[in-house]
Structure 1
Amino acid sequence: MAVLVCFRRATRTPRDNSTRQDDLIPVNALGKKLADTRHEPAPEQPTMLSELIIGTLTILASTAVMIAFVLLTIRLVRRAEANYSDHRPGILQFFILLSSAVVMILLANTVCVWMWALLFHYLEVFPSLEEAVYFSMVSFSTVGYGDVVVEHGWRILSGFVAVNGLLAFGVFTAVLIEIIRGLSDRYIPRR
Protein backbone atom coordinates (compact mmCIF):
# COMPACT_ATOMS: atom_id res chain seq x y z
CA MET A 1 0.00 0.00 0.00
CA ALA A 2 1.55 3.29 -1.07
CA VAL A 3 1.20 6.35 1.12
CA LEU A 4 1.54 9.79 -0.34
CA VAL A 5 3.28 12.14 2.07
CA CYS A 6 3.24 15.86 1.45
CA PHE A 7 4.46 18.72 3.57
CA ARG A 8 2.69 21.95 4.45
CA ARG A 9 4.10 24.96 6.15
CA ALA A 10 3.39 25.42 9.80
CA THR A 11 1.62 28.64 10.71
CA ARG A 12 4.08 31.36 11.59
CA THR A 13 3.87 34.85 12.89
CA PRO A 14 4.15 37.59 10.23
CA ARG A 15 7.58 38.74 11.40
CA ASP A 16 9.13 35.26 10.85
CA ASN A 17 8.96 34.52 7.11
CA SER A 18 12.05 32.34 6.90
CA THR A 19 11.61 28.77 5.73
CA ARG A 20 13.17 26.06 7.85
CA GLN A 21 12.88 22.27 7.70
CA ASP A 22 11.28 22.35 11.16
CA ASP A 23 8.47 24.51 9.75
CA LEU A 24 7.27 21.69 7.48
CA ILE A 25 4.56 19.36 8.79
CA PRO A 26 4.07 15.93 7.17
CA VAL A 27 0.51 15.51 5.84
CA ASN A 28 -1.21 12.84 3.75
CA ALA A 29 -2.89 13.47 0.40
CA LEU A 30 -6.05 14.71 2.16
CA GLY A 31 -4.12 17.23 4.22
CA LYS A 32 -4.42 15.32 7.50
CA LYS A 33 -1.38 15.71 9.75
CA LEU A 34 0.80 12.59 10.06
CA ALA A 35 2.85 11.60 13.05
CA ASP A 36 6.09 13.55 13.15
CA THR A 37 8.95 11.06 13.44
CA ARG A 38 11.81 13.48 12.84
CA HIS A 39 12.68 13.84 16.49
CA GLU A 40 12.86 10.19 17.49
CA PRO A 41 16.15 9.15 19.10
CA ALA A 42 18.47 7.22 16.84
CA PRO A 43 18.50 3.46 17.47
CA GLU A 44 21.52 2.04 19.22
CA GLN A 45 24.31 1.01 16.90
CA PRO A 46 25.46 -2.60 17.21
CA THR A 47 28.96 -3.40 18.34
CA MET A 48 31.41 -5.11 16.04
CA LEU A 49 31.44 -8.16 18.30
CA SER A 50 27.65 -8.49 18.16
CA GLU A 51 27.75 -8.28 14.36
CA LEU A 52 30.44 -10.97 14.22
CA ILE A 53 28.45 -13.26 16.52
CA ILE A 54 25.16 -12.74 14.66
CA GLY A 55 26.84 -13.21 11.27
CA THR A 56 28.68 -16.36 12.35
CA LEU A 57 25.56 -17.93 13.85
CA THR A 58 23.54 -17.12 10.73
CA ILE A 59 26.20 -18.62 8.46
CA LEU A 60 26.23 -21.76 10.62
CA ALA A 61 22.44 -22.01 10.36
CA SER A 62 22.62 -21.44 6.62
CA THR A 63 25.33 -24.11 6.32
CA ALA A 64 23.06 -26.55 8.14
CA VAL A 65 20.32 -25.77 5.61
CA MET A 66 22.78 -26.30 2.73
CA ILE A 67 23.96 -29.64 4.14
CA ALA A 68 20.37 -30.80 4.61
CA PHE A 69 19.50 -29.92 1.01
CA VAL A 70 22.68 -31.55 -0.32
CA LEU A 71 21.82 -34.77 1.52
CA LEU A 72 18.22 -34.64 0.29
CA THR A 73 19.37 -34.06 -3.28
CA ILE A 74 21.86 -36.93 -3.19
CA ARG A 75 19.23 -39.22 -1.64
CA LEU A 76 16.75 -38.22 -4.35
CA VAL A 77 19.24 -38.99 -7.13
CA ARG A 78 20.30 -42.33 -5.62
CA ARG A 79 16.72 -43.43 -5.04
CA ALA A 80 15.85 -42.61 -8.64
CA GLU A 81 18.94 -44.46 -9.88
CA ALA A 82 17.86 -47.55 -7.92
CA ASN A 83 14.64 -47.61 -9.94
CA TYR A 84 16.68 -47.95 -13.13
CA SER A 85 19.19 -50.55 -11.93
CA ASP A 86 17.89 -53.29 -14.23
CA HIS A 87 18.01 -51.28 -17.48
CA ARG A 88 19.76 -48.30 -19.01
CA PRO A 89 17.61 -45.20 -18.52
CA GLY A 90 17.25 -42.64 -21.28
CA ILE A 91 17.94 -38.99 -21.75
CA LEU A 92 14.49 -38.05 -20.37
CA GLN A 93 15.27 -39.67 -17.01
CA PHE A 94 18.66 -37.89 -16.96
CA PHE A 95 16.91 -34.57 -17.62
CA ILE A 96 14.30 -35.17 -14.90
CA LEU A 97 16.92 -36.11 -12.31
CA LEU A 98 19.19 -33.20 -13.13
CA SER A 99 16.26 -30.77 -13.15
CA SER A 100 15.15 -32.09 -9.77
CA ALA A 101 18.64 -31.52 -8.37
CA VAL A 102 18.72 -27.96 -9.74
CA VAL A 103 15.30 -27.21 -8.22
CA MET A 104 16.48 -28.53 -4.83
CA ILE A 105 19.58 -26.31 -5.01
CA LEU A 106 17.53 -23.26 -5.97
CA LEU A 107 15.18 -23.99 -3.09
CA ALA A 108 18.13 -24.21 -0.68
CA ASN A 109 19.51 -20.88 -1.91
CA THR A 110 16.06 -19.31 -1.53
CA VAL A 111 15.79 -20.55 2.06
CA CYS A 112 19.23 -19.09 2.84
CA VAL A 113 18.32 -15.71 1.32
CA TRP A 114 15.09 -15.64 3.32
CA MET A 115 17.00 -16.44 6.51
CA TRP A 116 19.16 -13.35 5.99
CA ALA A 117 16.18 -11.21 4.96
CA LEU A 118 14.20 -12.18 8.05
CA LEU A 119 17.23 -11.46 10.21
CA PHE A 120 17.62 -7.98 8.68
CA HIS A 121 13.89 -7.38 9.09
CA TYR A 122 13.97 -8.54 12.72
CA LEU A 123 16.93 -6.26 13.46
CA GLU A 124 15.04 -3.41 11.74
CA VAL A 125 17.94 -2.70 9.42
CA PHE A 126 15.49 -1.97 6.58
CA PRO A 127 12.09 -0.30 6.75
CA SER A 128 10.31 -3.10 4.85
CA LEU A 129 10.59 -6.84 4.36
CA GLU A 130 10.74 -6.33 0.59
CA GLU A 131 13.86 -4.21 0.94
CA ALA A 132 15.42 -6.77 3.27
CA VAL A 133 14.73 -9.60 0.78
CA TYR A 134 16.06 -7.55 -2.13
CA PHE A 135 19.25 -6.60 -0.28
CA SER A 136 19.77 -10.18 0.90
CA MET A 137 19.31 -11.56 -2.61
CA VAL A 138 21.63 -9.03 -4.22
CA SER A 139 24.27 -9.52 -1.52
CA PHE A 140 23.93 -13.33 -1.39
CA SER A 141 24.50 -13.53 -5.13
CA THR A 142 27.42 -11.08 -4.69
CA VAL A 143 26.00 -8.78 -7.38
CA GLY A 144 25.88 -5.82 -4.98
CA TYR A 145 24.13 -3.15 -7.06
CA GLY A 146 24.53 -0.58 -4.31
CA ASP A 147 21.07 0.93 -4.71
CA VAL A 148 20.04 -0.39 -1.28
CA VAL A 149 22.68 -0.24 1.42
CA VAL A 150 22.72 -0.89 5.13
CA GLU A 151 23.40 1.83 7.64
CA HIS A 152 26.92 2.27 8.97
CA GLY A 153 26.39 0.06 12.02
CA TRP A 154 25.46 -3.09 10.09
CA ARG A 155 28.11 -3.08 7.36
CA ILE A 156 30.02 -6.05 8.75
CA LEU A 157 26.86 -8.15 8.88
CA SER A 158 26.15 -7.36 5.23
CA GLY A 159 29.59 -8.73 4.33
CA PHE A 160 28.63 -12.02 5.96
CA VAL A 161 25.76 -12.34 3.46
CA ALA A 162 28.20 -12.20 0.54
CA VAL A 163 30.57 -14.68 2.20
CA ASN A 164 27.64 -17.03 2.79
CA GLY A 165 26.58 -16.69 -0.84
CA LEU A 166 30.08 -17.50 -2.10
CA LEU A 167 30.18 -20.55 0.15
CA ALA A 168 26.74 -21.71 -0.98
CA PHE A 169 27.48 -21.32 -4.69
CA GLY A 170 30.78 -23.17 -4.29
CA VAL A 171 29.16 -26.08 -2.45
CA PHE A 172 26.24 -26.35 -4.83
CA THR A 173 28.46 -26.09 -7.91
CA ALA A 174 30.53 -29.01 -6.62
CA VAL A 175 27.36 -31.00 -5.90
CA LEU A 176 25.94 -30.35 -9.37
CA ILE A 177 29.20 -31.29 -11.09
CA GLU A 178 29.37 -34.52 -9.11
CA ILE A 179 25.74 -35.35 -9.93
CA ILE A 180 26.26 -34.60 -13.62
CA ARG A 181 29.43 -36.69 -13.69
CA GLY A 182 27.75 -39.61 -11.97
CA LEU A 183 24.59 -39.45 -14.03
CA SER A 184 26.24 -38.90 -17.39
CA ASP A 185 28.28 -42.12 -17.10
CA ARG A 186 25.13 -44.08 -16.47
CA TYR A 187 22.45 -42.26 -18.47
CA ILE A 188 24.20 -41.02 -21.60
CA PRO A 189 25.66 -43.77 -23.77
CA ARG A 190 29.21 -43.30 -25.02
CA ARG A 191 29.81 -43.66 -28.74
Structure 2
Amino acid sequence: MIPSSLTERLRHLRLRLDDPGRRPLPAVTVETGPTVRGWVFRLALLVLTPLLLFTAAGRTPDVPLGVTGTIALLATGLLVVRPTPATAGGVIVVAAVLFWGFTTEPFDPWALVVALLAHLLARTTWWAAHVPPDGHTELAALRTGWRRDATVLGATGLLGALALLASGTTTTTAVLLAALGLVGIALLALATGRPSRDDGPS
Protein backbone atom coordinates (compact mmCIF):
# COMPACT_ATOMS: atom_id res chain seq x y z
CA MET A 1 0.00 0.00 0.00
CA ILE A 2 1.35 3.45 -1.00
CA PRO A 3 1.68 5.86 1.94
CA SER A 4 -0.70 8.82 1.85
CA SER A 5 2.19 11.32 1.85
CA LEU A 6 3.67 9.74 -1.27
CA THR A 7 0.26 9.70 -2.91
CA GLU A 8 -0.15 13.39 -2.15
CA ARG A 9 3.26 14.18 -3.62
CA LEU A 10 2.47 12.26 -6.79
CA ARG A 11 -0.82 14.12 -7.10
CA HIS A 12 0.94 17.50 -6.73
CA LEU A 13 3.55 16.47 -9.30
CA ARG A 14 0.86 15.45 -11.79
CA LEU A 15 -1.00 18.73 -11.26
CA ARG A 16 2.24 20.65 -11.72
CA LEU A 17 3.03 18.89 -14.98
CA ASP A 18 -0.53 19.37 -16.25
CA ASP A 19 -0.46 23.13 -15.50
CA PRO A 20 1.66 24.96 -18.13
CA GLY A 21 2.11 27.88 -15.77
CA ARG A 22 3.77 25.66 -13.14
CA ARG A 23 6.04 23.64 -15.39
CA PRO A 24 9.79 24.36 -15.13
CA LEU A 25 10.99 26.62 -17.91
CA PRO A 26 13.18 24.97 -20.54
CA ALA A 27 16.73 26.14 -21.14
CA VAL A 28 16.81 28.55 -24.08
CA THR A 29 19.88 29.61 -26.03
CA VAL A 30 19.66 32.90 -27.92
CA GLU A 31 22.20 34.05 -30.48
CA THR A 32 22.45 37.71 -31.46
CA GLY A 33 24.15 39.48 -34.30
CA PRO A 34 26.60 42.36 -33.98
CA THR A 35 25.46 44.79 -31.29
CA VAL A 36 25.98 48.42 -30.28
CA ARG A 37 26.34 49.40 -26.64
CA GLY A 38 23.91 51.91 -25.18
CA TRP A 39 26.60 54.38 -24.13
CA VAL A 40 27.47 54.90 -27.82
CA PHE A 41 24.19 56.80 -28.29
CA ARG A 42 24.98 59.10 -25.38
CA LEU A 43 28.45 59.66 -26.79
CA ALA A 44 26.82 60.61 -30.09
CA LEU A 45 24.61 63.09 -28.22
CA LEU A 46 27.76 64.68 -26.76
CA VAL A 47 28.79 65.49 -30.33
CA LEU A 48 25.45 66.17 -32.04
CA THR A 49 23.99 68.56 -29.45
CA PRO A 50 26.76 71.20 -29.48
CA LEU A 51 27.18 70.72 -33.24
CA LEU A 52 23.50 71.53 -33.77
CA LEU A 53 23.48 74.54 -31.45
CA PHE A 54 26.75 76.06 -32.69
CA THR A 55 25.68 75.56 -36.32
CA ALA A 56 22.39 77.32 -35.60
CA ALA A 57 23.94 80.18 -33.62
CA GLY A 58 26.86 80.56 -36.04
CA ARG A 59 24.53 82.05 -38.68
CA THR A 60 23.35 84.75 -36.25
CA PRO A 61 26.11 87.27 -35.50
CA ASP A 62 24.16 88.85 -32.61
CA VAL A 63 24.54 85.77 -30.38
CA PRO A 64 27.70 85.95 -28.20
CA LEU A 65 29.91 82.89 -28.27
CA GLY A 66 29.81 82.59 -24.48
CA VAL A 67 26.00 82.44 -24.48
CA THR A 68 26.02 79.73 -27.13
CA GLY A 69 28.64 77.75 -25.23
CA THR A 70 26.66 77.93 -21.99
CA ILE A 71 23.45 76.86 -23.72
CA ALA A 72 25.26 74.02 -25.50
CA LEU A 73 26.84 72.81 -22.25
CA LEU A 74 23.53 72.79 -20.38
CA ALA A 75 21.59 71.21 -23.27
CA THR A 76 24.20 68.51 -23.80
CA GLY A 77 24.28 67.59 -20.12
CA LEU A 78 20.48 67.47 -19.98
CA LEU A 79 20.20 65.24 -23.04
CA VAL A 80 22.90 62.84 -21.88
CA VAL A 81 21.38 62.52 -18.39
CA ARG A 82 17.74 62.48 -19.55
CA PRO A 83 17.48 61.47 -23.22
CA THR A 84 13.77 61.77 -23.93
CA PRO A 85 11.92 62.96 -27.05
CA ALA A 86 10.59 65.93 -25.05
CA THR A 87 14.12 66.97 -24.08
CA ALA A 88 15.32 66.60 -27.67
CA GLY A 89 12.36 68.69 -28.84
CA GLY A 90 13.28 71.42 -26.38
CA VAL A 91 16.87 71.49 -27.64
CA ILE A 92 15.65 71.67 -31.25
CA VAL A 93 13.38 74.61 -30.36
CA VAL A 94 16.34 76.38 -28.73
CA ALA A 95 18.36 75.80 -31.90
CA ALA A 96 15.54 77.30 -33.98
CA VAL A 97 15.41 80.37 -31.71
CA LEU A 98 19.18 80.81 -32.01
CA PHE A 99 18.90 80.54 -35.78
CA TRP A 100 15.91 82.78 -36.48
CA GLY A 101 15.15 84.65 -33.27
CA PHE A 102 17.71 87.43 -33.54
CA THR A 103 17.68 88.39 -37.20
CA THR A 104 15.29 89.70 -39.82
CA GLU A 105 17.26 88.42 -42.80
CA PRO A 106 15.53 86.39 -45.54
CA PHE A 107 15.50 82.62 -45.55
CA ASP A 108 18.97 81.17 -45.00
CA PRO A 109 19.65 77.88 -46.83
CA TRP A 110 21.73 76.76 -43.85
CA ALA A 111 18.41 76.25 -42.07
CA LEU A 112 18.17 72.95 -43.92
CA VAL A 113 21.55 71.87 -42.51
CA VAL A 114 20.20 72.69 -39.05
CA ALA A 115 17.08 70.67 -39.83
CA LEU A 116 19.21 67.70 -40.91
CA LEU A 117 21.21 67.83 -37.66
CA ALA A 118 17.97 68.17 -35.69
CA HIS A 119 16.61 64.99 -37.28
CA LEU A 120 19.79 63.09 -36.41
CA LEU A 121 19.60 64.40 -32.85
CA ALA A 122 15.97 63.31 -32.47
CA ARG A 123 16.66 59.78 -33.77
CA THR A 124 19.77 59.36 -31.60
CA THR A 125 17.86 60.57 -28.54
CA TRP A 126 15.12 58.00 -29.17
CA TRP A 127 17.66 55.18 -29.15
CA ALA A 128 19.45 56.56 -26.10
CA ALA A 129 16.09 56.65 -24.29
CA HIS A 130 15.35 53.00 -25.08
CA VAL A 131 18.80 51.43 -24.63
CA PRO A 132 20.44 51.83 -21.18
CA PRO A 133 24.16 52.70 -21.12
CA ASP A 134 25.11 49.15 -20.14
CA GLY A 135 22.64 47.57 -22.57
CA HIS A 136 23.03 46.41 -26.16
CA THR A 137 21.02 46.66 -29.33
CA GLU A 138 21.56 44.76 -32.54
CA LEU A 139 22.74 46.56 -35.64
CA ALA A 140 19.81 44.93 -37.42
CA ALA A 141 17.46 46.90 -35.17
CA LEU A 142 19.29 50.14 -35.98
CA ARG A 143 18.84 49.44 -39.67
CA THR A 144 15.05 49.25 -39.27
CA GLY A 145 13.53 52.12 -41.22
CA TRP A 146 16.90 53.28 -42.56
CA ARG A 147 15.43 53.82 -46.04
CA ARG A 148 12.93 56.30 -44.66
CA ASP A 149 15.58 58.11 -42.60
CA ALA A 150 17.91 58.19 -45.61
CA THR A 151 15.06 59.67 -47.66
CA VAL A 152 14.49 62.44 -45.13
CA LEU A 153 18.19 63.24 -44.73
CA GLY A 154 18.99 62.96 -48.44
CA ALA A 155 16.02 65.06 -49.51
CA THR A 156 16.83 67.73 -46.92
CA GLY A 157 20.46 67.84 -48.02
CA LEU A 158 19.45 68.00 -51.68
CA LEU A 159 17.02 70.83 -51.05
CA GLY A 160 19.69 72.66 -49.04
CA ALA A 161 22.20 72.29 -51.90
CA LEU A 162 19.63 73.58 -54.39
CA ALA A 163 18.85 76.51 -52.11
CA LEU A 164 22.55 77.37 -51.81
CA LEU A 165 22.90 77.23 -55.59
CA ALA A 166 19.81 79.39 -56.03
CA SER A 167 20.97 82.03 -53.54
CA GLY A 168 23.14 83.71 -56.18
CA THR A 169 20.86 83.30 -59.17
CA THR A 170 17.88 85.13 -60.60
CA THR A 171 14.42 84.77 -59.11
CA THR A 172 13.18 82.62 -62.00
CA THR A 173 16.01 80.12 -61.64
CA ALA A 174 15.58 80.02 -57.87
CA VAL A 175 11.89 79.26 -58.19
CA LEU A 176 12.63 76.52 -60.73
CA LEU A 177 15.25 74.86 -58.50
CA ALA A 178 12.97 75.06 -55.47
CA ALA A 179 10.10 73.52 -57.43
CA LEU A 180 12.33 70.67 -58.62
CA GLY A 181 13.48 70.06 -55.05
CA LEU A 182 9.93 69.93 -53.70
CA VAL A 183 8.80 67.61 -56.51
CA GLY A 184 11.73 65.31 -55.77
CA ILE A 185 10.87 65.17 -52.07
CA ALA A 186 7.22 64.45 -52.88
CA LEU A 187 8.18 61.61 -55.22
CA LEU A 188 10.51 60.09 -52.63
CA ALA A 189 7.79 60.28 -49.97
CA LEU A 190 5.20 58.65 -52.23
CA ALA A 191 7.62 55.95 -53.37
CA THR A 192 7.85 54.40 -49.92
CA GLY A 193 4.22 53.26 -50.02
CA ARG A 194 4.33 52.15 -46.39
CA PRO A 195 2.51 53.29 -43.27
CA SER A 196 4.31 55.65 -40.93
CA ARG A 197 6.79 54.06 -38.52
CA ASP A 198 5.77 53.69 -34.90
CA ASP A 199 8.77 54.34 -32.68
CA GLY A 200 6.85 53.22 -29.60
CA PRO A 201 6.31 55.00 -26.31
CA SER A 202 9.12 57.12 -24.93
TM-score, normalised to structure 2, is 0.29
Relative to total residues, which structure has the larger helix share, 1 or 2?
2
TM-score, normalised relative to structure 1: 0.30
